[in-house]
A = this chain, B = another copy of it.
Amino acid sequence: MAKPPRLDEFQRIARFFSPLAGKGALGLKDDVALIDGPPGTQYVLKTDAIVEKVHFFSDDPPDQVARKLLRVNLSDLAAKGATPVGYLLTTALTARQDETWLAKFSAGLASDQKKFGIALLGGDSTRTHGAATLSVTAIGRVAAGEAPTRGGARPGDAVWMTGTLGDAALGLLLLKQRKSALRLRGNDEKFLIRRYRLPEPRMALGKKIAPLASASMDISDGLVADLGHIASASKVGAVIETARLPLSRAARAALAADRHLLRAILTGGDDYEILFTARTVPAGLPVTRIGRIVRGKGVTVLDPTGATLRLGPGGYTHF
């Protein structure tokens, strides 16, 4: 007998977990939860896990694994304009994560705690088989009512992002293929790999963005998917103009050599830049307008001529 088709992560959440959601959970349709804090404030809560061989390689430098774990959570706080307060850490480790590994891992945490002004509040540690699993619950503080959700985008808003797009996806390609697949200069390769391993949460910029944004989140699942989350939660459509995408020198070089990499740039994850919608932003705010919100639903990607790109599973096609 045929098994019913497997649900993807979002369908699983919708079916099995959304019915469990309480007040503050934002229907599990946001990255974060909100609870009341001291007068005039709310706490922003975010939990994110990384798994060995899924999200990081066994031989990745342990300090960078630690810093990435912390940063992927901080990135969600940044997208809500929150100030970091503290974090809880759960580690399920195999025998591979020995004391040498742990010493480097905790040194990475110490370094980023200092950089981001956050401290460890508690946690749990256990052993496991197979793959190490590391999870962080990060706690931030915002002025009450000021954290933008995913659901406030309106037709006429522009779509904006911080930083550059696709570097991490290209860095991951380089790490997976373990060869100079993208025919890049050594410095460009190093840059892309570093962008994959060590995202840069936009904490300061996030505080400037939050009061302006009608919707805001970080790009972790890939631009097209994440803008789709905003469109869906806001009940609107969104258009991405590829000609406007902010690309690093390394990403531009890779794309020049192989234009099919545009799909990885648009749909690859791990950028950890802030994606937001706002009618306008002040001059000088270092963000890039990459599209617009429209009536309708879903995400449309336009090539430089204004034609619609179709992002199929095997690449993209014009139609």
Q: A300 within 8 Å of B by Cβ?
A: no
Q: A307 within 8 Å of B by Cβ?
A: no
Q: How far, in whole Å, are A48 and B126 apart by their CA atoms in the complex?
A: 9
Q: How far, in whole Å, are A91 and B31 apart by their CA atoms in the complex?
A: 15
Contact of B86 with A25 in the complex, beta carbons under 8 Å: yes
Q: A89 within 8 Å of B by Cβ?
A: yes
Instruction: Determine the interface band of chain A, counting residues with CB < 8 A from chain B.
Output: 35 or more
Q: How far, in whole Å, are A120 and B27 apart by their CA atoms in the complex?
A: 9
Contacting residues, chain B, for A43 (C-beta < 8 A): 35, 43
Q: A32 within 8 Å of B by Cβ?
A: yes
Q: How far, in whole Å, are A137 and B104 apart by their CA atoms in the complex?
A: 25
Q: A319 within 8 Å of B by Cβ?
A: no
Complex interface bits, A100-117 against B, C-beta within 8 A gives 1, otherwise 0: 001101100110010000
Contact of A122 with B45 in the complex, beta carbons under 8 Å: yes
Q: How far, in whole Å, are A130 and B282 apart by their CA atoms in the complex?
A: 50
Given contacts A12-B102, A17-B125, A22-B86, list 9 more A-B pairs with CB under 8 A.
A4-B99, A7-B99, A9-B125, A25-B119, A35-B43, A36-B37, A47-B122, A47-B137, A128-B130
8 pairs of residues in contact across A and B, judged by CB atoms under 8 Å: A13-B125, A16-B102, A21-B120, A22-B119, A33-B121, A37-B38, A45-B137, A135-B135
